[in-house]
């Protein structure tokens, strides 16, 4: 069973080009499912029927797993059995009529434009670390890229003259995202005055480096963001994804069309981007109720 699972993960990596984090999530979910099968005397994947999977989901539910976790496990098991059926390793697909639980869509947490201004003003540009931090914060808010995409940027991915960056998103899909004048100015300042003093080797490709001159990690950026949020006196729980949410919401608030925002965010399905329109509608409702005399 483990060998079949490894072959499936390899298939997702090579044929589907899924990101490492996604592959790890699939592997985790399916290993846990395999453990459940073994504990219940199921030794072959072709022995699994719909009620087997439903029993596993009930176990997860009783253990207090969130609806989102149940939904993700169903997606993992369904993808796995679609693969097995396609490869003719099973004669019937037990996930055909399996329904995912309805998820309560939570509105993404965003910063106000005022909070963004305060946050982005925190780095001290008199030192090289501050120049780097200012450039990173301006860049991630200006483009809405994921923190993994920010940390993966090489110097050659950033074209300040033309005003765009090239980044590799989920599924190794490349996209081009425009840069605003403020971000161009601060990234240019970091490239000119900060980065040369931080790198140890002239061959270092990474745009953003740590104190050892090596590529900065996602965890490193997360700590930097937390520090500046605390300095700015922002009580909201800010994560790197908060900057992405804020980028999208502020664009839509100011009249950007949904398709353009979808392309900049790198969403494969526009329904993923539509969650931000709910944030905007929610904001409009608040404004209406506070300002209309007959609200």
pLDDT, tens digit, 9 for 90 and up, residues 258-276: 888 888 888 878 777 777 7
Q: Which range, of 45-54, 114-123, 244-253, 278-287, averages the lowest pLDDT?
A: 278-287
H/E run at residue 77: helix 67-86
Annotated catalytic residue, options 72, 186, 250, 267: 267
Catalytic hit among 72, 132, 146, 195: 146
Tens digits of residue pLDDT in 154-190 = 999 999 999 999 988 777 788 999 999 999 999 999 9
- Rounded to whole angstroms, the Cα distance separating 2 from 31 reads 8
- Active-site entry in 10, 38, 223, 241: 241
**244 part of the active site:** yes
Annotated catalytic residue: which of 65, 89, 170, 175? 170
Residue among 137, 184, 179 at smallest CA distance from 264? 179
- Threshold 0.85, pTM exceeds: no
Give catalytic status of residue 267 as yes or no: yes
Rounded to whole angstroms, the Cα distance separating 157 from 174 reads 11
Q: How far apart are the first and last CA of the chain?
A: 61
Share of the chain above pLDDT 70, in %: 92
- The single residue of 72, 132, 244, 245 carrying the catalytic annotation is 244
- Cα 4 to Cα 56, 78, 89, distances in angstroms: 20, 15, 10
Q: Give the angle subtended at the CA of 21 by the CAs of 17 and 23, to the nearest 5°.
A: 55
Q: What is the dihedral of CA 14, 15, 18, 19, to 10 degrees?
A: 20
pLDDT, mean over the chain: 89
Kindly tell me the sign of the dihedral angle through the C-alpha atoms of 17, 19, 25, 31: positive
18 vs 26: CA distance, rounded Å: 10
pLDDT at 291 exceeding the cut of 90: no
pLDDT confidence of residue 7: 94
Annotation marks residue 170 as catalytic: yes
36 catalytic residue (yes or no) = no
Q: What is the per-residue pLDDT across 109-161, written as a single tens digit (0 to 9) for each?
A: 889 999 999 999 999 999 999 999 999 999 999 999 999 999 999 999 999 99
Residue 59 to residue 45: CA distance in whole angstroms:
19
pLDDT for 293:
63
pLDDT at residue number 247:
93
What is the phi/psi pair of residue 165, to 5°? -125, 155
Q: What domains does the chain contain, in order, with CATH numbers?
A: 2-86 (1.10.150.130), 113-289 (1.10.443.10)
Specify whether 241 is catalytic. Answer: yes
User: Which of 56, 83, 190, 276 is the catalytic position?
Assistant: 276
State yes or no: is 245 an active-site residue: no
CA-based Rg of the chain, rounded to a whole angstrom? 23
DSSP-assigned states of every residue in 163-195: TEEEEE-GGG-EEEEE--HHHHHHHHHIIIIIH
pLDDT in tens, 65-90: 887 888 889 999 999 999 999 989 99
């Amino acid at each position: 069973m483990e060998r079949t699972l490894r072959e499936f993960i390899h298939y997702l990596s090579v044929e589907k080009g899924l990101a490492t984090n996604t592959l790890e999530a699939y592997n985790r979910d399916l290993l846990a499912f395999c453990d459940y099968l073994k504990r219940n005397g199921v030794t072959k994947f072709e022995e699994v029927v719909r009620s087997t999977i439903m029993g596993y989901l009930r176990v997860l539910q009783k253990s207090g797993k969130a609806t989102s976790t149940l939904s993700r496990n169903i997606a993992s098991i369904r993808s796995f059995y679609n693969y097995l059926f396609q490869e003719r390793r099973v004669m019937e697909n037990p996930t055909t009529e399996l329904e995912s639980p309805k998820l309560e869509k939570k509105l993404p947490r965003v910063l106000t434009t005022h909070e963004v201004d305060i946050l982005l003003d925190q780095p001290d540009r008199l030192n090289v670390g501050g120049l780097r931090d200012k450039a990173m914060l301006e860049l991630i808010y200006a483009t809405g890229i994921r923190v993994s995409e920010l940390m993966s940027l090489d110097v050659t991915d950033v074209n300040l003259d033309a005003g765009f960056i090239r980044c590799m998103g989920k599924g190794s899909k490349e996209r081009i995202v425009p840069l605003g004048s403020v971000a161009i100015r601060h990234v240019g300042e970091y490239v000119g005055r900060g980065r040369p003093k931080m790198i140890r080797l002239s061959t270092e490709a990474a745009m953003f480096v740590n104190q050892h001159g090596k590529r900065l990690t996602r965890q490193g950026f997360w700590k930097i963001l937390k520090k500046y949020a605390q300095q700015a006196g922002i009580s909201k729980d800010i994560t790197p994804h908060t900057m992405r949410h804020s980028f999208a919401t502020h664009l839509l608030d100011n009249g950007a069309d949904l398709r353009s925002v979808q392309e900049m965010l790198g969403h494969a399905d526009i329904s993923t981007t539509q969650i931000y329109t709910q944030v905007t509608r929610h904001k409009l409702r608040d404004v209406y109720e506070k300002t209309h005399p007959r609200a």
